[in-house]
A and B are shown apart, each in its own frame.
Chain A
Amino acid sequence: MTLLEDRPQPPSEEHNPLLMDIVPGPRPAGLVKYITSTDHKQIGLNYLVTGLLAFVVAGIMALGMRTQLIVPNNHFITADVYNQLFTIHGTIMLFVFAGPFGFAGFGNYLVPLMIGAPDMAFPRFNNLSYWLYLGGFSLLMAGFLTNNGAAQFGWFGYAPLTEAIHSPGPGGDLWLVGIALTGFSGIFSAVNIITTIFTLRAPGMVMFRMPIFVWNILVTMFLVLLAFPVLTSAFALLWIDRHLGGNFFNTQKGGQPILWQNLFWFFGHPEVYIIALPYFGVVTEVLASMCRKPVFGYKGMIAATLSIGALSMGVWAHHMYTTGAVLLPFFAAMSLLIAVPTGIKFFNWIGTMWRGTIVLNTPLLFSIGFLIQFLMGGVTGVILAQPVLDFQLHNTYFVVAHFHYVIMGLVFGGLAGLYYWYPKMTGRMFDERWGKASFILLLIGFNLTFFPQHDLGLRGMPRRIETYNAGLGWNFLNELSSIGSYITGLGVVATVINLVKSYRSGPIAGDNPWDAQTLEWACSSPPPDHNFEALPPIRSERPVWDANHPDMLTKVGH
Chain B
Amino acid sequence: MKVESRTIIGAFVFLVILAAAYWAMVATYGHTAERSGIAMLIFSFSAYGLLGFYLLAQYFRRHGTPRVEDRFDATQEEGAGVIDYFPAASIWPAGMGLGMIFGGCALVWGLWYLYIGGILFIGSVIGWVTESDYTEDVLPGIDPAELADHEVPSGPSLPHHG
Contact = CB atoms under 8 A, between A and B. Distances in A.
A60 interface: no
Contacts of A262: 34, 36-37, 40
Interface in B5-43: 7-8, 10-11, 14-15, 18, 21-22, 25-26, 29, 31, 33-34, 36-37, 40-41, 43
B37 A258 contact: no
26 contacts: A2-B85, A3-B85, A3-B88, A7-B80, A7-B82, A10-B77, A35-B94, A38-B86, A123-B86, A123-B87, A127-B90, A131-B94, A135-B97, A138-B101, A139-B101, A170-B108, A174-B108, A202-B69, A204-B76, A226-B43, A239-B107, A314-B18, A314-B22, A327-B31, A327-B34, A330-B25
B80 A124 contact: no
Contacts of A258: 33
Nearest to A330: B25
A403 interface: no
A512 B80 CA distance: 26
A198 to B, nearest CB: 5
A170 B10 CA distance: 44
Interface in A1-36: 1-10, 15, 19, 22-23, 27-28, 32-33, 35-36
B40 A266 contact: yes
Contacts of A3: 85-88
B72 A119 contact: no
B160 interface: no
A113 to B, nearest CB: 15
A206 B70 contact: yes
Contact of B80 (A9, A173, A198, A558): A9
B73 A4 contact: no
Contact of B97 (A7, A131, A204, A205): A131
A10 B128 contact: no
Please indicate which of the listed interface residues A22, A23, A123, A178 has the most CB atoms of chain B within 10 Å of its own CB: A123
3 nearest A-B pairs in the assembled complex, by CB-CB distance? A131-B97, A203-B79, A135-B101
A483 interface: no
A537 B34 contact: no
A313 B69 contact: no
B116 interface: no
A7 B139 contact: no
A131 B11 CA distance: 31
A184 B100 contact: yes
Contact of A5 (B8, B83, B134): B83
A230 B43 contact: yes
A340 to B, nearest CB: 15
Nearest to B139: A4
B53 interface: no
Interface string A22-62: 11000110001101111100000000000000000000000
B69 to A, nearest CB: 4
B149 interface: no
A35 B91 contact: yes
A5 B4 contact: no
B108 A198 contact: no
A5 B82 CA distance: 6
Contacts of B158: none
B76 A177 contact: no
A225 B47 contact: yes
Classify chain B's interface size: 35 or more
User: Taking chain B's interface residues, is the majority helix, strand, or loop, or is none over half, making it mixed?
Assistant: helix
Nearest to B4: A198
Interface string A90-120: 0000000000000000000000000001110
A128 B93 contact: yes
Given A200-B83, A314-B22, A222 B11 contact: yes
A139 B80 CA distance: 46
B56 interface: no
B90 A5 contact: no
B142 interface: yes
Contacts of B88: 1-3, 38
A535 B83 CA distance: 14
Please indicate which of the listed interface residues A28, A124, A226, A329 has the most CB atoms of chain B within 10 Å of its own CB: A124
B75 interface: yes
A36 B68 CA distance: 33
B118 interface: no
A224 B40 CA distance: 14
A125 B87 CA distance: 11
Contacts of A176: 107
A325 interface: yes
A111 B120 CA distance: 31
A203 B75 contact: yes
Contact of B132 (A1, A178, A181): A1
A339 interface: no
B37 A266 contact: yes
B145 interface: no
B3 interface: yes
Interface in B33-75: 33-34, 36-37, 40-41, 43-44, 47-48, 55, 68-75
Contacts of B3: 206-208
Interface string B87-124: 11111111011101100110111000000000000000
A89 B14 CA distance: 35
Contact of B14 (A22, A127, A198, A310): A310
Nearest to A134: B97
A1 B137 contact: yes
A317 interface: yes
Interface string A121-155: 10111111011101100110000000000000000
B108 A5 contact: no
Contact of B107 (A123, A177, A200, A203): A177
A77 interface: no
A266 to B, nearest CB: 5
Contact of B26 (A178, A180, A222, A327): A327
B74 A203 contact: yes
